[in-house]
Structure 1
């Protein structure tokens, strides 16, 4: 059963200007593994995090650092099952997150679906231990 759906779009140039004006935003909004990415990839991840907040119905119980976008071996993006995200998802009755992101023509867009499948807890089946510490080649949008 679908618990929530979220979508967000970010103007990449505007987002890049914000990162330049306020350098502390990079560390506040992104996990250490995400921070080195180029602005278009960061904008897509920011859109993904905002879309997730919308799909969850709000940000209560989840921080920016709890929402870590990783790439699997098949290059599909997903949210790493961090303790904070798992707790927030469980509190809302969800146990699976679907994520799609793209960037083109100066915009980054992300779609998120939070689902209840009946699993005991959030265990994103596309996230493996290798995804918890992605390599540089798996860290692009």
Structure 2
């Protein structure tokens, strides 16, 4: 059973500018694994920005899906720690979401077991993500 759906769209050029700012909070939002994936095989900065933007969109889409899943109830966390929402890829490059820490615990407490589905896309100056939260079992 679907518990929540979320989507997010990110303007890549503006996101790249924010990432480039010294001391930006966005730099701390990505795990070492996400940074390695975005760097890829010597990707140029523009290509890296598209991959970072898609991952940011996935994190935001997850938060929206989670909010939809607990509609009518108070927010579970006042502010999600975006680093605890990680986009990972399998050996063939297919994306998935991995939750950690307080976010993983709060999701378990608020929804029980879940299965997460994510789709990432980027085209031109736009990156997008779509997340579905499905109740396990």
In the superposition, the TM-score normalised over structure 1's length comes to 0.74
Distance 1:9 1:89, change over 3 A: same
Alignment partner of 1:41 out of 51, 57, 60:
51
Q: Which runs of 5+ in 2 are unaligned?
A: 39-47, 68-74
In the alignment, the residues of structure 2 paired with residue 81 and residue 47 of structure 1 have an alpha-carbon distance, to the nearest angstrom, of 15
Distance 1:18 1:81, change over 3 A: closer
Q: Which runs of 5+ in 1 are unaligned?
A: 119-141
In the alignment, the residues of structure 2 paired with residue 21 and residue 59 of structure 1 have an alpha-carbon distance, to the nearest angstrom, of 31
Contact persistence 1:31–1:65 (CA under 8 A): yes
Structure scoring higher RCO (CA < 8 A, sep ≥ 6) equals: 2
In the alignment, the residues of structure 1 paired with residue 22 and residue 120 of structure 2 have an alpha-carbon distance, to the nearest angstrom, of 24
Q: Which range moves more in the overlay, 7-16 or 60-69?
A: 60-69
Alignment partner of 2:89 out of 71, 74, 77:
71
2:102 aligned with 1:84: yes
Contact persistence 1:2–1:113 (CA under 8 A): yes
Aligned length: 118
2:126 aligned with 1:116: no
Point out the structure with the larger strand share. Answer: 2
Greater radius of gyration (CA)? 2
In the superposition, the TM-score normalised over structure 2's length comes to 0.76
Cα RMSD (Å)? 1.9
How much has 1:14 moved relative to structure 2?
A: 0.7
